[in-house]
Copies of this chain bind each other. A is one copy, B any other.
Amino acid sequence: MNGTSPLDRIRVVLSHTSHPGNIGAAARAMKTMGLSRLYLVAPRHFPDPEAEARASGASDLLAAAVVCRTLEQALADTVFAAGLSARRRDLSLPVCWAREGAARLVQRGRSDEVALVFGNETSGLTNEELSLCHLPVMIPTNPDYSSLNLGAAVQLMCYELRLAVAAPGAAPASELPLATGEEVEGLYAHLERCALASGFLDPSQPKRLMLRFRRLFARTALEREEVSILRGLLASFERPKLRKKS
């Protein structure tokens, strides 16, 4: 592996994994395709002998795995995250298929830290977790039996990532630096604060509307300067002394 492959900038994030064996299987699947960076959000059991057993020769990935308490932490320094989804959801972003999702991750991963996020084995990603991602990805399956297990889903996505790296000719990306997950979260917090202060957000029910904002901005990849501009605008709304009758 050399430090310049996009595969080195793609972290695989497993959120709320119930079975440690699946963590091991995911590590093995990653390593077979040349990925190495595993993040675990609140795993039920880790480290665990069952994870080691299933990892086979990929226990180095388990030893180096980063364990986080929340998905926000796991994504804090990333600029782009794709989240696996087994079904269409209300208010979700436009979905893409695995192959295109891998291509887009690799494209972003040529210059920036990106993430591929998998949810709990039974329930998948929660809507809140998916709202932290920019791109919901679906693996095409038999509509009558779509029961891919976690290791299989990781295997298929990592395979597509490997092929996406080798395939030439990704479209040129924007050259302006993208905002990190942390910067975008700062924007959301600022927006929520302002919208509460202005009376636009119902303080007893802020969640749904904030999900709508996340959904809107996640469809674009916000640039760092855009986040600054938006926060500057919000700050201007917070200064009563400058307000005029409109």
Which residues of A does B touch, CB under 8 Å? 1, 28-29, 31-34, 56-58, 88, 92-97, 99-100, 138-142, 144-149, 151-152, 155-156, 159, 162-163, 166, 168, 171-174, 193-195, 197-200, 209, 212-213, 216-217, 219-222, 225-226, 229, 232-233, 235-240, 242-246
Contact = CB atoms under 8 A, between A and B. Distances in A.
A240 B240 contact: yes
B142 A32 contact: yes
Contact of A197 (B31, B97, B151, B243): B243
22 contacts: A32-B148, A56-B149, A57-B145, A92-B174, A93-B174, A94-B173, A94-B174, A139-B159, A140-B162, A140-B166, A141-B162, A152-B155, A193-B246, A195-B233, A197-B244, A198-B233, A199-B239, A212-B225, A212-B229, A213-B229, A219-B219, A240-B245
A141 B33 contact: yes
A239 B237 CA distance: 11
Contacts of A156: 155-156, 159
B240 A243 contact: yes
A208 to B, nearest CB: 10
A242 B198 contact: yes
A200 B236 contact: yes
Contacts of A232: 200
Nearest to A244: B197
Given A195-B236, A212-B226, 19 more contacts: A1-B144, A31-B142, A31-B145, A32-B142, A99-B163, A138-B172, A140-B166, A142-B162, A151-B152, A156-B156, A194-B237, A195-B233, A197-B245, A197-B246, A198-B236, A199-B236, A209-B229, A220-B220, A237-B237
Nearest to A238: B246
Of A138, A172, A212, the most chain B CB neighbours within 10 A belong to A172
A21 to B, nearest CB: 12
A23 to B, nearest CB: 15
A171 to B, nearest CB: 5
Nearest to A88: B172
Contacts of A233: 195, 198, 200
